[in-house]
């Protein structure tokens, strides 16, 4: 029996994780839940899965949760520190890190320091502080397993092979809802259109990142740290059908790929059951029904966010943290209809240009770069 703490339990990854757990009561138990928005849904999850420890957004939310639960209550925390308490809970064997954005960094770091294996769906943890997190994983001898479908595919395609035989890893991208939209029309795109992803069901922030291709850029940086690959050995191809989740090309010309229906329950099930496998509940793949798989080069002129991510990775130091923070602020402003769709990468670019990078020596220095970028990007959205 493996006990899980789930950070971001009411988001799309959290819900999918609990669905997999629900299918296997003999294999998994839930010891901790953390969420930031939906108190009512969290209360339902607590009643069903009976965790020992939970965390909510703030103290006011904690009070509301207590009212909803009545006399039978778990230990309730709040804020980033509360989520960190859930991640580091003594009863957890593995932490599913699925809080969206840089807010997931501190709880994930605390979980690693507590010796917990990590199923990582929060790519920003590695984007913001990849060197720090990688060093901590080695120091505390924990296992870091990718949950993003692309990185799970690469992880599976690497199994049984040597890193020195890799020619490159190839991340696939759906292309988002505007893959064929003329550049001049992108200026008029509003949140309603941008939130209609053609393949995946995700939260608002990640869906917008997929529309700008920033999500793929963040995944490039994540792949660099997960698989110790330089930027020159990481490629991206647009694959609209989202059936091949990513590939590894080897020096002999052979390419290993992992295929499956576009459903996050599959990589989640692989991560939490690893090194075994378990039923995920997804629809089985029927290639005869799919018929055709197509691939395209990403258009870096129409979607400059991907180029900016490669630039940040190559420049290193605090640039990836600044890229991510500026993007979070710009996406939030777009969803609030304060800026246009094409302003998102423009604000990220200007924030990076204004940044004086340095090599961080501590978690606080990474967080300081994150705060600086948020303030700078925030000024540009007003």
In the predicted model, is pLDDT for residue 382 greater than 90? no
Ranges of each domain in the chain: 2-142, 148-262+293-307, 316-382
- Express as a percent the part of the chain with pLDDT over 70: 99
Distance between CA 218 and CA 367 in Å, rounded? 17
Nearest to 374, CA basis, from 340, 337, 332: 332
Burial of 158-191, coded b for 16+ CB within 10 Å and e otherwise, reads beeeeeeebebbbbbbbbbbbbebeeeebeebeb
Q: Please give the average per-residue pLDDT across 113-122, as a whole number.
A: 98
pLDDT grade for 72, boundaries at 50, 70 and 90: confident
In the predicted model, is pLDDT for residue 199 greater than 80? no
CATH class of the domain comprising 2-142: alpha beta
Nearest to 233, CA basis, from 300, 165, 297: 165
Q: Please give the average per-residue pLDDT across 158-173, as a whole number.
A: 96
For residues 355 and 368, the answer to whether their CB atoms sit within 8 Å is: no
Report the alpha-carbon angle 205-14-323, nearest 5: 30
Nearest to 335, CA basis, from 192, 199, 236: 192
5: exposed, middle or buried (Cβ count in 10 Å: 0-12, 13-18, 19+): buried
When mean pLDDT is compared across 63-72, 84-93, 242-251, 323-332, the lowest value belongs to 63-72
Q: Please give the average per-residue pLDDT across 169-181, as a whole number.
A: 95
In the predicted model, is pLDDT for residue 201 greater than 90? no
Q: How many CB atoms lie within 10 A of CB 69?
A: 16
Q: How many CB atoms lie within 10 A of CB 27?
A: 14
Query: Which CATH number fits the domain 316-382, given the four candidates 3.40.50.720, 1.10.340.30, 1.10.1740.10, 3.30.450.40?
Result: 1.10.1740.10
When mean pLDDT is compared across 118-132, 194-208, 214-228, 346-360, the lowest value belongs to 194-208
Nearest to 193, CA basis, from 340, 345, 13: 340
How much is the pLDDT for 196? 86
Report the alpha-carbon angle 23-24-25, nearest 5: 110
Alpha-carbon torsion angle 58, 63, 68, 73, nearest 10? 90
Q: How many CB atoms lie within 10 A of CB 306?
A: 23
Distance between CA 241 and CA 290 in Å, rounded? 8
Average model confidence (pLDDT) across the chain: 96
For residues 115 and 95, the answer to whether their CB atoms sit within 8 Å is: no
């Amino acid at each position: 029996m493996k006990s899980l703490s789930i950070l971001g339990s009411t988001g799309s990854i959290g819900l999918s994780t609990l669905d997999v757990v629900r299918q296997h009561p003999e294999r998994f138990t839930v010891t901790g839940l953390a969420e930031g928005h939906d108190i009512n849904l969290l209360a339902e999850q607590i009643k069903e899965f009976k965790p020992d420890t939970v965390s909510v957004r703030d103290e006011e939310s904690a009070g509301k949760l207590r009212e909803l639960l009545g006399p039978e209550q778990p230990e309730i925390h709040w804020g980033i520190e509360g989520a960190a308490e859930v991640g580091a809970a003594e009863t957890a064997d593995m932490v599913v890190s699925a809080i969206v954005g840089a807010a997931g960094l501190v709880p994930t770091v605390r979980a690693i320091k507590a010796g917990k294996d990590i199923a990582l769906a929060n790519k920003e943890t590695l984007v913001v502080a990849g060197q720090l997190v990688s060093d901590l994983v080695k120091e505390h001898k924990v296992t870091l397993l990718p949950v993003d479908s692309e990185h799970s595919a690469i992880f599976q395609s690497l199994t049984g092979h040597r890193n020195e035989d890799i020619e490159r890893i190839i991340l696939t991208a759906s292309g988002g809802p505007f893959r064929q939209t003329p550049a001049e029309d992108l200026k008029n795109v509003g949140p309603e259109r941008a939130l209609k992803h053609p393949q995946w069901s995700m939260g608002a922030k990640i869906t917008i990142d997929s529309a700008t291709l920033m999500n793929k850029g963040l995944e490039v940086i994540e792949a660099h740290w997960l698989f110790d690959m330089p930027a020159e050995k990481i490629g991206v191809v647009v694959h609209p059908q989202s059936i091949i989740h990513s590939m590894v090309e080897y020096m002999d010309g052979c390419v290993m790929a992992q295929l499956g229906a576009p459903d996050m329950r599959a990589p989640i099930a692989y991560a939490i059951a690893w090194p075994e496998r378990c039923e995920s509940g997804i629809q089985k793949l029927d290639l005869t029904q799919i018929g055709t798989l197509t691939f395209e080069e990403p258009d870096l002129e129409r979607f400059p966010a991907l180029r900016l991510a490669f630039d940040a990775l190559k420049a290193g130091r605090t640039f990836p943290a600044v890229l991510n923070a500026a993007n979070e602020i710009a996406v939030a402003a777009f969803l609030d209809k304060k800026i246009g769709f094409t302003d998102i990468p423009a604000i990220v670019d200007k924030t990076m240009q204004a940044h004086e990078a340095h090599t961080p020596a501590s978690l606080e220095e990474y967080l300081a770069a994150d705060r600086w970028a948020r303030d700078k990007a925030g000024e540009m959205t007003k």
